[in-house]
Amino acid sequence: MNNPKPHLLIATRNRGKLAEFERLLGGQFTVEGLDGQQIDLPEEGTESYRANAEAKAIAVARATGRLTLGDDSGIEVTALGGEPGIVSARYAGEPVSDARNIEKLLDALAASASPDRSARFVCWLAMAGPSGLLTSVEGTCEGTIGIEPHGANGFGYDPIFRFPDGRTMAQLSDWEKDDVSHRGNALRAILPALAEATGNA
């Protein structure tokens, strides 16, 4: 008789992020997001990705009594001094729009007159239970910023984040993306702790 998969709550309402978690963890866990749940996420601060991820995980775990993963991520562009960084999701202000964020980043990079287009994605994941924080890990992905958006398989800044083969993150298949992405790398790093916490080791 097969044992049921342990449940894992993800502290997000971002469907793009949730889809990645489901692909990467769905074979071992029943993954759920916060859609339909009356849970207030803490407001994201500007201290660090890690602090934001931990605050989300702790708040949701305490509110639900369940094992929870919190995530915070962003893109850091070398020529912009690491911007947009921790404010990546809200870079162009309200209302939040991937297209507006991309446009602002490309405009800022053009105005910088720097030939350096190197960038990296950063993701911090935090795992918490009802008793508090259990662990936190970081994942990164290196690339460059393209001249214009390409590809439709992704979200956020994926259409302008290029790899050495010329393709953007948004032009990769789901499985190719999961192999190299910052979130995929962070999830692989936290997986042993997840397995231990759920008795799924």
* Residue among 138, 135, 142 nearest 123 (CA): 138
Catalytic residue among 35, 40, 71, 72: 72
Cα separation of 44 and 99, whole Å? 21
Cα separation of 37 and 118, whole Å? 39
Tally of helices (H runs) and strands (E runs) in the chain: 5, 6
CA 53 to chain centre: 10
Contacts of 179 (CB under 8 A, 6+ apart): none
Concatenating the DSSP letter of every residue in 33-62 gives: -STT---PPPPP-SS-HHHHHHHHHHHHHH
Contacts of 28 (CB under 8 A, 6+ apart): 5, 6, 195, 200
The residue behind tokens 């407001």 is: 43
Say whether 179 is catalytic. Answer: no
Q: Which residues are catalytic?
A: 72
